[in-house]
Structure 1
Amino acid sequence: MVTKSDDFASQRTSRAVSRGTVLLTAAAAAGALLTGCGNDAGGDAAQTGAAEAARIAATSSSPSASPSGLTDDQTERKEVIPKAKTGWEQALRAAVAAVPKSELVSIKLKGPADRPRWKTEVATSDGAASTVRVDAVTGKAGKARAETDQDDDDKRDMADWLKKATVTPQQAAQTATDKTKGTVTAVELDDTDAGTPIWSVDVVSTDDWNKTTYDIDATDRKVLREHVDRD
């Protein structure tokens, strides 16, 4: 039901590094070949060819760099977060109000910057889930939409998570921001392989626009994992 935040940036960087390595190797080979010609013209050509290949390789090795020095993901966070005048807790209250007797399952800040929104999922005690979108500028909740792909097992699992999660999303977010100062952009309920419910909390530092994700035990507030996304 609840998935982790996707991260394609590392794959993009890996491909860029591989391409840069190939080009640098080609540059070295070209330089060695041309130098072996043994005359001034060959030497000049070797230097020119090697320099050009190295320049291309260096340019190709960092395709996601921007003039500001920020990655694509960091740039997106910098554009979207300041436009979200409604914080996650206010959006949470609007979402659960749209579905009587419901509790938060997940909330995530989404773009674009000119129309930021909080995508939320809430569920009642029987595990029936609904999606509610909340305008991140006005704080107004849209119409709740029941999840149509839930089967009975999904509902039982969801109800079990909610029952076991004695730590509130607000407490989990506080645990995360006590460790990393910044803006909470996502809070979602999940579980470990052992069946322990956890709150996954994303905090973005607005000085460098990096995102830190904390997995917090939803029964005792213990931090189980911390990951800094600098992409």
Structure 2
Amino acid sequence: MDTKSDGIFPKRQYLPVFRGAALVCAAAAAGALLTGCGQDTDGEATRNGAAEAARIAAASTSPSADASHLTEDQRERKALVPKAKTGYEHALHAATAAVAKSEPVSVELKGTPDSPRWEAEVATGDGTAHTVSVDAAGGKAGEARAKHEDEDDKRELADLLKKATVTAEQAARTATDKTKGTVTAVELDDTDGGTPKWSVDVVTTDDWNKTTYDIDATNRKILGEHVDRD
């Protein structure tokens, strides 16, 4: 332990004086009361103190630090996502079970906190699609409803299903490996080049942002990533 004296006070006596002076200066800078704290002649200390006070004030009121600054979409996610007691996997299984020989096309969490639901779409090999609503709280699937589409749409969907060798669950795991959170939507689509892709939405429950991943449905490669902070 260093017990040397500075020639005026022993070191153990000097430290409280120094700390007290620092606290007075910090308080003066934060409140713009910079009198008697070593202000220089050109006002540089005043400017530096005011800038630091402004920085601290801005940080303390940032959206990430204060939940009251959540956007409308973030508040909706915060209210809805925890109410889904069954995940997207259960919704897809329930939907495919409701339509014989069908495969998943999409699933999305919708509804209200009082009545959350998964809206799923499945299709058979010829591209005939059905929608199935699944209770996100209890997991019960409703009646399958056929979608009325023309033959071209059916052929396009059938072609996507044949090309997609990556499952919806595999795509979702690829997304959550990158961003830990809750999957709220998965959808099969195609790229501009005609390659099938899965779009996966992941909501992070620390900030309620939504990250959307586009994942190649033939090799699980991540094609794009977008964070929605609105």
Q: Give the superposition deviation at 1:68.
A: 1.2
- Aligned-partner Cα distance in 2 for 1:91–1:170: 12
Note the residue ranges of structure 1 that are not aligned, 5 or more in a row: 1-65
Give 2:154's aligned residue: 155
Matching of residue 109 in structure 1 with residue 75 in structure 2: no
Give 1:226's aligned residue: 225
1:59-104 Cα offsets, whole Å, 9 max, x none, are: xxxxxxx971100000000000110001110111101000011000
Q: Give the superposition deviation at 1:193.
A: 1.0
- Aligned-partner Cα distance in 1 for 2:99–2:84: 23
Please show how residues 39-118 of structure 1 align to structure 2 within 5 Å: 68-118=68-118
1:104-140 Cα offsets, whole Å, 9 max, x none, are: 0000000211000000100000000000000001100
- Aligned-partner Cα distance in 1 for 2:183–2:81: 10
Tell me the TM-score normalised to structure 2 length: 0.71
TM-aligned CA distance change 1:67 to 1:202, over 3 Å = closer
Give, as a single letter, the amino acid of the residue that structure 1 aligns with 2:137.
V
- Aligned-partner Cα distance in 2 for 1:99–1:138: 20
Identity %: 73
1:141-198 Cα offsets, whole Å, 9 max, x none, are: 00000001x1000000000000000000010000000000000000000001110000
Q: Give the superposition deviation at 1:211.
A: 0.2
Give, as a single letter, the amino acid of the residue that structure 2 aligns with 1:94.
A
- Aligned-partner Cα distance in 1 for 2:201–2:101: 26
Q: Give the match's secondary structure for 1:178.
A: helix
Matching of residue 191 in structure 1 with residue 190 in structure 2: yes
Q: Structure 1 residue runs of 4+, over 4 Å off?
A: none
Tell me the TM-score normalised to structure 1 length: 0.70
Please show how residues 143-222 of structure 1 align to structure 2 within 5 Å: 143-148=143-148, 150-222=149-221
- Aligned-partner Cα distance in 1 for 2:113–2:144: 23
| Aligned residue pairs, count | 165
Matching of residue 132 in structure 1 with residue 132 in structure 2: yes
- Aligned-partner Cα distance in 1 for 2:196–2:172: 15
Please show how residues 26-37 of structure 1 align to structure 2 within 5 Å: none
Give, as a single letter, the amino acid of the residue that structure 1 aligns with 2:161.
L
- Aligned-partner Cα distance in 1 for 2:138–2:103: 22
Q: Give the match's secondary structure for 1:111.
A: strand
Give, as a single letter, the amino acid of the residue that structure 2 aligns with 1:192.
T
- Aligned-partner Cα distance in 1 for 2:112–2:197: 29
- Aligned-partner Cα distance in 1 for 2:95–2:126: 18
